[in-house]
């Protein structure tokens, strides 16, 4: 059936649809807009790259980059004794970084380190999204490479420009260097707190280990520090550091670097710190003197940043003995001046705890008690109770009973005469058994002193102690203090006399005499205010008679002796008058002791030196310092003087050391100045010369009869006995004890014209130089110090304020009376 036409067409007519818009045209405009925006973005980005990269450093310069590293000092056996640095850093190579440590750092700092090109785009997006969601900055997105670029090239300020430059530099670094090289540079550069830079330095500081010796929890601890070296310092904030360490361990677990068992064991482990501070306690006066020498020669920047390796002359065992004997000797001398009283009393001057409550006898804790009390320690003790026959003293958890025998040196009879509850006094621990100890009363001396020991054959300084306690006074009395040397100067007068033909058995008159000087009439007198008449020169020196020494100087001439002193290496000002014979001019212990080495060296002086050689960080030689050698006196003169100085021990002012001299032949000279302000002893064996000085920094008197033989000689003897204990006795082959003039003739006959100028035992690394031309002064020339470079220049008369002793006193040389 055909459809009904009308039924189809019936109803309202539909309106025609307008023709469609050109979709192709709209799409083309959209694409054009996108391309335009893209081009603008690329152009803008290119502009940013051009602008921000125009002043970027050359990344390829990293190929020659060497970070600042420590200058280290080594003793004569290679043991480290000191370091100088603005940044404590120890460089490691890639093969010295253990995998466990590398995994720890990458897990917490940059998980995509191995795959990104310097910038982690996805990491940036993740961090940005999280920051927007939480509406605060919660995550950083800097890769290790970006952190490295910031550390090496950029400032720490936070700006869009700096961040963009950081990204550009990171991309360039990734182009030129391998991942291993980048990680190694980062590991050597990063700040880890407390002045430590680089993970190796931090491993040594926090754990006392090398980086490749760290355990898993230790490696994780270090890996967590770079985010905030202050907040995550294990030393300052141990609990925060532990939590951060556990975050690192969890990150390692999430990246598959460790398993669950390792995770649980490591998170349960303690931090296990073993702090090793960079401040060395070995020979601080010597180390400081070396630092000043290096800075004068190479400049402060090279010393503190370029990682010099400095090989010194110091012998650690000798240095330790020197420090011990000087401290002991100064304390013994100080005790003769009596007890000065307690350091403080916590009951009479109450102390408070941090919460404001008063400290009691039971709650007091002294700084000395933070380490275990041991025999031979000097420790502060707290007097708990005083009884009729003893005082109870506490050293932390250790108690001691102090009886009158333990403080007999104070000349006090009863404990109540010295002690009161609450007193804090210094004690020498004799023995410790459990919670009980034996101790004797002691006190820190207010007198000062210095000790030097030199190797005769090389001029090497083997020990240098410049004061009782470096922490209390940095003033180096071995080098900086210029003090009158008393009768120890007489050796130079008699050396010139022997050169002029005087025999030890010639006679000199010990009788009153006077001289007209520019400051008036001056009459020297002897220490005992007596005169012995006609005596031998040998006896005059051994007994340190003053009048014969002045007569001898007047006869041979002051200028002649001063010129000889310059050849001995004395550079201080020597006043050209007759009191010079009695040591009225000031010298340093270093120059005086060094000059004495000339006598056992057969008349050859070898300048003192502290440094043998200096290399760079890689071991390449920069400088070596061979001995500086000079002829001073003929061998015969030196040998005769040695024999004369041996008599000082045999029958003279050092006779208290005769028993030691019988076992180990020694020679030397005492020195004491007016009013007993300075006490000296200088002496030697065939191989070692030692000088000791004792005196107050303000030049006040040491006390009646406190002469060199009583104050300085015991220190010298104690030191020399200890360094010769395990050594065979050495003899002065050509310098016997003198008993008759024939011996002098034999010495003169045995002395050959040839002079041995090379050291008898030169260091294996530093060869001796050829013989220099002897230093002489033309006729008529003023006897001033020769202009020559020396290893240890004369220190300034006025040292820096921090090193300056209190109340310096200048004394008139014409008014000096010298004791033996």
List the catalytic residues: 109, 487
* Residue 399, φ and ψ in degrees, nearest 5: -115, 150
* Residue 140, φ and ψ in degrees, nearest 5: -95, 160
595 Cβ neighbours under 8 A, 6+ residues apart: 492, 565, 568, 569, 570, 605
β strands within 558-705, DSSP E = 586-587, 604-606, 611-615, 621-624, 629-631, 667-672, 678-684, 688-695
Q: What secondary structure letter does DSSP report for 758?
A: S
DSSP symbols for 588-612: -HHHHHHHHTTTTTTTEEE--BSEE
CA 744 to CA 735: how far, in whole Å?
9
CA 688 to CA 666: how far, in whole Å?
10
5 Cβ neighbours under 8 A, 6+ residues apart: none
Element (H, E) at 510: strand 507-510
Count the neighbouring beta carbons within 10 Å of the beta carbon of residue 483. Answer: 24
> What's the alpha-carbon Rg for the chain, to the nearest Å?
39
Q: Which residue, among 558, 560, 532, 557, has the nearest Cα to 547 in the 3D structure?
A: 532
Cα–Cα distances in angstroms (integers) from residue 521 to residues 513, 551, 584, 815, 817, in the given order: 11, 15, 17, 11, 14
Q: Reduce the secondary structure of 160-227 to three states and give it as a string.
A: HHHHHHHHHHHHHHHHHCCHHHHHHHHHHHCECCCCEECHHHHHHHHHCCCHHHCCHHHHHHHHCCCC
Q: Which residue, among 174, 398, 338, has the nearest Cα to 704 in the 3D structure?
A: 338
Distance of CA 331 to the CA centre of its chain: 24
Q: Which residues pair with 352 in a beta bridge?
A: 358
Task: For Cα atoms 214, 215, 220, give the angle at the middle one, nearest 5 degrees.
Answer: 90
**Beta strand 88-89 pairing with 196-197:** parallel
């Amino acid at each position: 059936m055909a459809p009904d036409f009308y039924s189809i067409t019936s109803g309202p007519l539909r309106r025609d649809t307008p023709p469609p818009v050109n979709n192709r045209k709209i799409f083309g405009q959209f694409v054009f807009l996108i391309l335009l925006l893209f081009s603008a973005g690329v152009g803008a980005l290119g502009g940013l790259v051009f602008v921000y990269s125009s002043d970027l450093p050359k990344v390829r310069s990293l190929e020659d980059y060497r970070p600042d590293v420590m200058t280290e000092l080594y003793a004569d056996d290679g043991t480290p004794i000191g370091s100088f640095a603005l940044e404590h850093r120890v460089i490691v190579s890639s093969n010295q970084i253990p995998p466990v440590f590398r995994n720890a750092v990458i897990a917490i700092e940059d998980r995509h380190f191995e795959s990104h090109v310097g910038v982690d785009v996805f990491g940036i997006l993740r961090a940005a999204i999280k920051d927007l969601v939480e509406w605060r900055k919660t995550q950083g997105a800097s890769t290790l490479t970006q952190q490295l670029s910031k550390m090496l090239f950029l400032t720490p300020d936070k700006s869009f420009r700096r961040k963009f430059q950081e990204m550009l530099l990171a991309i360039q670094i990734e182009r030129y260097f391998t991942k291993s090289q980048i990680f190694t540079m980062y590991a050597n550069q990063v700040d880890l707190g407390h002045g430590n830079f680089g993970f190796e330095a931090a491993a040594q500081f926090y754990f006392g280990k090398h980086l490749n010796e760290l355990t898993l929890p230790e490696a994780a601890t270090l890996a967590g520090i770079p985010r905030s070296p202050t907040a995550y310092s294990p030393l300052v904030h141990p609990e925060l550091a532990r939590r951060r360490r556990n975050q690192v361990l969890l990150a390692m677990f999430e990246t598959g670097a460790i398993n669950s068992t390792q995770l649980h064991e490591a998170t349960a482990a303690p931090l296990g710190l073993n702090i090793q501070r960079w401040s060395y306690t070995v020979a601080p006066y010597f180390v400081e003197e070396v630092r000043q020498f290096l800075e004068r020669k190479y400049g402060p920047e090279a010393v503190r940043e370029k990682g010099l390796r400095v090989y010194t002359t110091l012998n650690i065992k000798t240095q330790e003995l020197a420090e011990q004997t000087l401290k002991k000797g100064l304390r013994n001398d100080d005790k003769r001046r009596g007890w000065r009283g307690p350091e403080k009393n916590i009951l009479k001057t109450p102390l408070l705890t941090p919460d404001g409550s008063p400290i009691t006898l039971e709650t007091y804790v002294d700084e000395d008690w933070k380490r275990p009390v041991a025999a031979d320690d000097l420790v502060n003790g707290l007097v708990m109770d005083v009884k009729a026959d003893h005082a109870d003293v506490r050293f932390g958890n250790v108690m001691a009973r102090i009886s009158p025998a333990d403080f007999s040196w104070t000349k006090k009879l009863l404990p109540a005469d010295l002690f009161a509850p609450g007193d804090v006094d210094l004690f020498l621990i004799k023995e410790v058994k459990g919670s009980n100890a034996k101790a004797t009363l002691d006190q820190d001396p207010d007198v000062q002193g210095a000790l030097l020991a030199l190797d005769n054959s090389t001029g090497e300084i083997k020990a240098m102690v410049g004061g009782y306690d470096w922490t209390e006074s940095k003033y180096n009395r071995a080098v900086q203090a210029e003090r009158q040397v008393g009768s120890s100067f007489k050796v130079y007068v008699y050396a010139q006399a022997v050169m002029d033909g005087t025999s030890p058995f010639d006679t000199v008159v010990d009788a009153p005499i006077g001289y007209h000087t520019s400051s008036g009439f001056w009459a020297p007198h002897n220490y005992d205010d007596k005169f012995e008449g006609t005596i031998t020169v040998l006896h005059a020196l051994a007994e340190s008679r003053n009048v014969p020494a002045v007569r001898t100087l007047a006869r041979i001439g002051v200028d002649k002796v001063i010129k000889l002193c310059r050849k001995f290496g004395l550079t201080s000002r020597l006043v050209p008058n007759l009191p010079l014979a009695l040591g009225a001019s000031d010298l340093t212990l270093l120059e005086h002791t060094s000059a004495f080495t000339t006598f056992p060296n057969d008349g050859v002086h070898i300048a003192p030196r502290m440094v043998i050689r200096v290399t760079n960080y890689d071991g390449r030689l920069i400088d070596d310092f061979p001995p500086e050698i000079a002829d001073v006196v003929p061998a015969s003169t030196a040998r005769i003087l040695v024999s004369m100085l041996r008599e000082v021990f045999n029958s003279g002012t050092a006779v208290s050391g005769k028993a030691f001299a019988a076992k180990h032949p020694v020679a030397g000279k005492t020195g004491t100045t007016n009013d007993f302000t300075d006490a000296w002893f200088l002496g030697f064996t065939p191989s070692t010369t030692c000088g000791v000085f004792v005196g107050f920094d303000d030049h006040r008197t040491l006390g009646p009869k406190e002469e060199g033989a009583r104050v300085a000689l015991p220190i010298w003897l104690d030191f020399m006995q200890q360094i010769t204990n395990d050594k065979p006795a050495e003899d002065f082959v050509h310098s016997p004890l003198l008993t008759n003039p024939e011996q002098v003739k034999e010495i003169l006959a045995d002395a050959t014209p040839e002079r041995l100028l090379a050291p008898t035992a030169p260091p294996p690394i530093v060869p001796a130089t050829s013989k220099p031309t002897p230093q002489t002064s033309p006729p008529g020339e003023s006897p001033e110090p020769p202009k020559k470079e020396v290893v240890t220049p004369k220190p300034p008369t006025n040292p820096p304020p921090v090193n300056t002793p209190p109340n310096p006193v200048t004394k008139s040389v014409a008014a000096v009376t010298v004791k033996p």
